[in-house]
Structure formats: C-alpha cells, structure tokens
Structure 1
Amino acid sequence: MALNSIGDLARGLTLRTRSTEIKSQIETLSYEMSTGKVQDISGHLGGDYAHLLDLDRSLELLDAYSIATAEARLFTDAMQLSLKTFSGSVAEISASLLSFGTANQTVTHEQASVQARNELDTMISALNTRAGGRSLYSGTSTDISPLLSAETLLGALQAELSGLTTATDIRQAAEDWFDDPTGFDAVIYQGGADTLSPMQISENERVSLPITATDPALKSALRDVAVAALATDDALAWSPGLRTALFTELGVELANTQDATVNLRAQVGAAEARIEQAATRNAAANTSAEYARSELISADPYETAARLQTVQFQLESLYSVTVRNANLSLVNFLR
C-alpha cells in the first residue's frame, strides 16, 4: 500500500496558512457580531448594488432636507418673534395715543411723543433682526439690515411735514412719502427689491415668506408711530389742539393696523406648521430608509455567533495539532 506524506517544512507552512485563514474568519465574524453588518457587502448582495445605492442617495437627500428644515425653522421662528415684538409695540403706542389724545396738555403730549420715539426704535430693531447671519426682512439682500435708524427716518419725515398745519395734510404728506418709491423705500429701506426665494424643505415642497420691511402693514405702522414721535418737535411747532387731533387719529389707525400685523404673523405661523410637518415626514422617511438599508446588509446575529464559535473551536484544534506535531521525535516514536 502506498503511503503519501509531506515533509516537516511543508506541514508547518500548511498549518500556518490554515491558521491565517481561521484568524481572518474570526476577524470577519467578530466585526459582523459587533456591528450587525456583513463585512463582504458585495458577496452578500451578489454584486447587485442598485438597491443599496438608491437607499444611500435617499439618505443623503434626507440629511440635506433635515438641515434645510432646521434653517427654515430658525428663520421662521425668529420672524415670528420679531413680528410679535413689532405688534406689541404697535398695541402699546396705540393705547397710549388714544389715552393721551383726550388730554389737550403739553405734558401728556410730550409723554406720548417720547413713548412713540421709544417704540419706533423697538419696531425698527425688530425688523432689523437677523437669524443665522441673515436679515429677515431685507428680501434677497440678506447681508444688509433693511432699515436705517429711527433718527434718520424722523429727520427725513420732518422735512416732508414742515409747514403743514392740519391733521389731514400732515397724515396725507406722511402717507405720500412712505408710498413714494423715492421716499421711504429709497431713503430708509436698504434691502433688496426682490423677496426671498422659497425655501426647499422636502423633495416636492417649498415654503415662501415674501415679507420685507416694505410690506404695507409694516410701513403703515412705522409711518403713524413716526408722525406721533414728531408731534411735539419744536421745529414743526404744532399747536396743542393739532397734536390732540393727531394722536386720536393715529391711535385709531394703529389699532386698525393691528389686524394687518396679525395676518402677517398668521402667514408666518402657517409656514412654521408646514416646516414642522415636512420635518416630521422627512424624519419618518429617514428612519424607514435606514431600517431598509440595515436589513439589506445586516448579519444574522445567531448564525454569526454559531459560526464564530465553530471557527474558534477550529483554531483551538489547530493549535493542539500544531503543538503535537512540534513534540514529535524519533526517540518518542521508538519508546
């Protein structure tokens, strides 16, 4: 009977090769056990990456939309807060003007004008609010604050009202200057002529907020408060009776303007709701895509654990064989 055998050197090389193979299998199985994912994705998918790549693309898009909705949420939240501040100032000065308008006294007139001046500062500051480094009410020119200071506004308006002696003429002149493209829009407004582009919040949905500091409701409120702030200006020299009439009319007009500012806040609120809904849908889609991707390349934990135990036993057995071979000698064989 023929006997086939291999030499010691070849046997050692064979054992080392087998040991390397088993260690590689242990590393692979240990990785799959700890991550829950197969290491050889190509072999697991049979070389067909189409579905996996589609899922990866969807996840990348959803990550981008997640950032977009976060930025949109920041923008609209800041706009809502600024409009709340603006509207609050309008309500405060409206109530004060209606109260002071009934008193034909210089002291109360001074108080009304001082309050109007302070509220005008607050209103302009609210419209100059920035979020994430972008101006809210400057249209496409988000790097520029939309309005110049209250001092600049009052100085420009004072020149338009100089010499007028009736409440009707004063209010009409103020309205004409604020509506004139060469007036308020050119002198005080520094933002862009175009409104902000719609914000993409999902693959098929965009949110638009076409509100700038030149919105008629905002300009109307700024106009009436500015006139009230100038009512006691010494250069204009308006009589107490004229001031009383102005304060009463301006107070009523500002109270009516409240409805328009509420509508603006409602418009922003609707945009906030759409952004939240889109963010919720995007998060759900992201979770679904991640689950599908995980299922596609996941390793069965029970099967992996069983294979790892088997391979570890094979390595231990190989070490035992290696030790036995190392102890073989002719002396031991002849005993």
Structure 2
Amino acid sequence: MQSNYIGDQVRIFALRSSTAYLGEQLNKLTKEAASGEVADLGLRLQGDTVVLNNLENRIALIEQYEKNTQDAGFALKWQQQVLTAASDSSVEFANKVLTLPQAYDPVAVDELVQEAAEKFSIIVDQLNRDVSGRYAFSGQNVSERPLRSPNDIIGKMSEIVGQATSADEIFQKISVWFDTETNGEGFDGFAYNGASENNIRFSIAEGETVNIGISAIDPEIKNMLKGLAIAALADHVDLGDDNVEIGRLLKNGAREIWNNEVNLIQRISAIGAAQEEVERGEVRNAAVLSELTTARNDIRRVDLYETSSAILETESQLRNLYLLTARISSLSLADYLR
C-alpha cells in the first residue's frame, strides 16, 4: 500500500508542476494580449538581437536629432524676434529724425533724444536676455552676458567725447571707438563680454547641420547700436543747448541706422533660412523615426488572434488540471480500493 501512496503523491506533484507552468504561461499570454508585445523577446529572436539593437540605436540617434532641432529652433526664434523688433524700432526712430525740418523744434529734439536713449536701453537689455540658461548673442560663450549695461556704455562714450563741442567731432570720436577691434580699446573690448567666434553648429538630421551662432558685435548689430548710442549721447554731452548741433548729432546717428538697415535685414533673413533648415530637419526626422519605430514594433508585436487562442487553450488545460487535482486530493481509501 505504501508504494501506491507514494505513487499518488508523485502524480499530485506532477499535476501541481504542470499547473504552475500553465499559470506562468497564462500570465505571459495575458501580458502579451494587454501590451501587444511579445513577452520573451529573446525567444522570438532566437538569441539574434543584432537587428533590434541597430534599430534601437538609430531610434536613439534620431530622438537626439529631434532634441537638437528643438534647441536650435528655440534659439533661432529668439534671435529672430529680438533682431526684428530692434530693426523695426531703430528704423522707426531713424525715419522720425531724418524727416525733421531744418528749423529744429527744441521740444521735438528733446523727445527724440530721450527716445533714442530708451530704445538703446531696451535693445541692449534684449540682447542680454538669458533664454533657458543660454545667452543667444554671446557667440560661443553662451554662458556669458554679451554686453555691459546701457549706462556703462553711454558713460564710456561720454568719457571718450571729452570736451568736444560739435556734432561732427563727437560723431567722429564715437565712430572710431566703435570701429576699433584690437587691443581692447574699442567698443568690442569694453562693452562685449562674449566670444568673437560664433560658429555654433547643431546636428539636426542625418548629414545635416545648422549654425545658430551670432554675437552682439556682428557688424549688422553693432552698427545699429552705434547709431542709437550716438543719438542717445546728445543728452550726455555739452553742446551748449544748441538745437542745431543736437539735431545734427541725432541725424548722424539716424544715418548710421539707415545705412545699416539693409545689412541687418539680410542677417534676419539668414536666420529665417536657418529656421527653414531646422523645420526640414524636423520633418525628415519624423518620417525616419516613424519608419524605424514601425520596424521595431513589427519585431516585438504579437499576433493577437494567436495569443487569444493560446489563452483559451491554456485556460482549458488549467481547468482540466484543477479538476483532476481536486479528484485525486479528495480520493478516500475506500474509493481507492474499489
């Protein structure tokens, strides 16, 4: 009788092992049905994961390109906004000055001087704006604020002018200071804190890069600042309340702005072209990423019909095992002897 008892225990153990195995299979199949992806990817690929790894690596690369296009697009958008607003504002001011009548009205002249100082201050502050931890007009040195404060710049210009009492002399001295680029003696050395090198290239797609570098001492920007600064300086120099000389200084500054406007517009257009490159990169990345993701998903995807059939079959096998296990477990000695 002992051998029969041991044999029954072995059968029960075997049934329980089968039940556990089928339970695991059912859990795996249920997860596959819920996620739509195969649970045992290694078994699906039979250990050959090279293709899948290549797909994953390319997907990660394209996702980095997408991040680069977002960063580049954000920087270019800010540059476009700042320079467009600066161009519109400075040209509006220049037009007002250049259309002044020869008989300068003291009130109008004073208002224009104050307007020049206000516009100069606003534009410098915009160029100095920190956008997401980066200064967009500092060349490669994006961690450094590009320009000193408007007051510092105007104060330095007042020192350079010294005892000059004519608009032409003041204009000449300030022009030389702005145009001097060596030995740290000019505007660049005093007012600019960024890097002279502004080549900042972003990889935005496979085989495509875009340069987003720009600095506040690029000629198109510096000449606009020079024009406004010269006009604003009229409130900080001694011209003996001579409205004619003050008006002449205003017009000297306005002509600098006007003569530079074409160059500034071309620079703004170049930024717009870079934005278009970034947009094309975004479209290309989206298309490639869609293809790669589809290919990866095809490898991982399960056949939901086959999975559902397997679930039903496994559930049926489990029910049969439960019934058989219950019958053996409740078998009495009298039932066994019959």
How much does 1:67 deviate? 1.5
Corresponding letter in the other structure for 1:147: L
Q: What's the counterpart of residue 10 of structure 1?
A: 10
Aligned pair partner of 2:245 in 229, 237, 242: 242
Q: What's the counterpart of residue 48 of structure 1?
A: 48
Contact 1:154 1:226 in 2 (8 A): yes
Following superposition of structure 1 onto structure 2, how do residues 11-26 of structure 1 map, counting pairs within 5 Å?
Answer: 11-26=11-26
Q: Please say if 1:81 is aligned against 2:43.
A: no
Q: What's the counterpart of residue 302 of structure 2?
A: 299
Q: What's the counterpart of residue 323 of structure 2?
A: 320
User: Which deviates more from structure 2 when the two are superposed, residues 163-172 or residues 17-26?
Assistant: 163-172
Q: What's the counterpart of residue 217 of structure 1?
A: 220
Q: Please say if 1:197 is aligned against 2:197.
A: no
Alpha-carbon separation, structure 2, partners of 1:175 and 1:318: 96
Contact 2:226 2:253 in 1 (8 A): no
Percent identity between the aligned chains?
Answer: 29
Corresponding letter in the other structure for 1:201: I
Aligned pair partner of 2:280 in 270, 277, 281: 277
Relative to structure 1, is the Cα distance of residues 238 and 187 closer, same or farther in structure 2, using a 3 angstrom cutoff?
Answer: farther
RMSD of the alignment, in Å?
A: 2.1
Relative to structure 1, is the Cα distance of residues 170 and 14 closer, same or farther in structure 2, using a 3 angstrom cutoff?
Answer: same
Q: What's the counterpart of residue 113 of structure 1?
A: 113
Structure 1, gaps ≥5 residues long: none
Alpha-carbon separation, structure 2, partners of 1:173 and 1:137: 26
Corresponding letter in the other structure for 1:247: L
Number of equivalences: 332
Alpha-carbon separation, structure 2, partners of 1:237 and 1:155: 19
How much does 1:235 deviate? 2.9
How much does 1:101 deviate? 5.4
Aligned pair partner of 1:264 in 259, 262, 267: 267
Relative to structure 1, is the Cα distance of residues 169 and 101 closer, same or farther in structure 2, using a 3 angstrom cutoff?
Answer: farther
Q: What's the counterpart of residue 151 of structure 2?
A: 151
- The superposition leaves residues 271-328 of structure 1 with CA deviations (integer Å, 9 ceiling, x where unpaired) of 1111111112112211211110010121110001001100100000111111222333
How much does 1:72 deviate? 1.0
Alpha-carbon separation, structure 2, partners of 1:238 and 1:158: 16
Alpha-carbon separation, structure 1, partners of 2:233 and 2:167: 13
Corresponding letter in the other structure for 2:146: P
Contact 1:101 1:248 in 2 (8 A): no
How much does 1:185 deviate? 0.4
Alpha-carbon separation, structure 2, partners of 1:265 and 1:75: 13
Contact 2:239 2:245 in 1 (8 A): no
DSSP 3-state at the match of 2:84: helix
How much does 1:213 deviate? 0.5
Alpha-carbon separation, structure 2, partners of 1:197 and 1:238: 48
Q: What's the counterpart of residue 34 of structure 1?
A: 34
Following superposition of structure 1 onto structure 2, how do residues 65-80 of structure 1 map, counting pairs within 5 Å?
Answer: 65-80=65-80
TM-score, structure 2 normalization: 0.91
Corresponding letter in the other structure for 1:161: V
How much does 1:243 deviate? 2.3
DSSP 3-state at the match of 1:104: coil
Alpha-carbon separation, structure 2, partners of 1:317 and 1:41: 30
Structure 2, gaps ≥5 residues long: none
How much does 1:228 deviate? 0.9
Alpha-carbon separation, structure 1, partners of 2:6 and 2:301: 42
Contact 1:73 1:272 in 2 (8 A): yes
User: Which deviates more from structure 2 when the two are superposed, residues 240-249 or residues 315-324?
Assistant: 240-249
DSSP 3-state at the match of 2:192: coil
Alpha-carbon separation, structure 2, partners of 1:44 and 1:198: 42
Relative to structure 1, is the Cα distance of residues 333 and 183 closer, same or farther in structure 2, using a 3 angstrom cutoff?
Answer: closer
DSSP 3-state at the match of 1:231: helix
User: Which deviates more from structure 2 when the two are superposed, residues 209-218 or residues 179-188?
Assistant: 209-218
Q: What's the counterpart of residue 187 of structure 1?
A: 190
TM-score, structure 1 normalization: 0.92
DSSP 3-state at the match of 2:305: helix
How much does 1:247 deviate? 2.7
Alpha-carbon separation, structure 2, partners of 1:263 and 1:68: 25
User: Which deviates more from structure 2 when the two are superposed, residues 320-329 or residues 80-89?
Assistant: 320-329
Corresponding letter in the other structure for 1:36: G
DSSP 3-state at the match of 1:199: strand
